């Protein structure tokens, strides 16, 4: 598979709804299926047209192939077989979703270069953020915040593949002959920070 000048991966592109340029010249788009323009009906013109038909749990690219990986898997498992959301975005397997997402995170991390960035998008309408982030390879650096009072919230999480030798928890600084170790905060404290 030719990757010349291709250093961005969308690991589950669906109809490329997030993309400003839906055929970005530096991006590779993969999805588990292809669907023709208009497949949703309702006079909508969207298509699912990945560069490669590929499952995000088994990405067929070499290690460290991309500088940026975008991962927006299906968020829901409780969908009817003919529902609009299932047809447009796909659905999680209700019995294997944890294993599938864990494999997806692992594959996205594997094909990411050192110091590369993984952007993960998730809606907590069915499965909560904490449950999903426990499947991720590392704690995210940050996520967008929202004052939305709706029952569900969508967040974008940003990860960086920092080599182990340079990770925060492995760094020490010396001052006046003393070693000061830095501790990485827990995932729980990152998701539920203490309020002043």
pLDDT 10s digits, 108-141: 999 999 999 999 999 999 999 999 999 999 999 9
Q: How far apart are CA 83 and CA 28, in angstroms?
A: 28
Superfamily of domain 8-163: Vaccinia Virus protein VP39 (3.40.50.150)
Exposure of 31 by Cβ count < 10 A (0-12 exposed, 13-18 middle, 19+ buried)? buried
pTM for the structure as a whole? 0.82
Q: How far apart are CA 51 and CA 29, in angstroms?
A: 5
Q: Please give the DSSP secondary-structure letter assigned to residue 48.
A: B
Give the pLDDT confidence of 58-75 residue by residue, as tens digits: 999 999 999 999 999 999
List the beta strands (DSSP E) in the chain.
Answer: 8-10, 27-31, 52-53, 66-71, 112-123, 142-143, 154-160, 172-175, 178-181
Residue 148 pLDDT more than 50? yes
């Amino acid at each position: 598979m030719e990757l010349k000048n291709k250093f961005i991966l969308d690991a589950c592109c669906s109809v490329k709804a997030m993309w400003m340029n839906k055929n970005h010249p530096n991006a590779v788009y993969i999805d588990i299926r292809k669907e023709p323009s208009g497949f949703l009906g309702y006079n909508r013109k969207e298509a699912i047209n990945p560069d490669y038909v590929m499952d995000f749990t088994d990405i067929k690219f070499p290690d460290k192939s991309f500088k940026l990986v975008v991962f927006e898997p299906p968020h829901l498992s409780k969908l009817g077989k003919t529902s609009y959301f299932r047809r447009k975005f796909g659905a999680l397997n209700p019995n294997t979703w944890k294993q599938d997402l864990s494999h997806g995170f692992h594959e996205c991390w594997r094909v990411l270069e050192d110091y590369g960035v993984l952007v993960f998008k998730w809606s907590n309408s069915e499965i909560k953020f904490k449950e999903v982030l426990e499947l991720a390879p590392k704690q995210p650096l940050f996520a967008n915040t929202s004052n939305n009072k709706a029952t569900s919230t969508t967040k974008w999480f940003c990860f960086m593949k920092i080599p182990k030798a340079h990770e925060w928890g492995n760094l020490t600084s010396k001052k006046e002959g003393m070693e000061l170790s830095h501790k990485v905060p827990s995932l729980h404290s990152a998701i539920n920070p203490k309020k002043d």
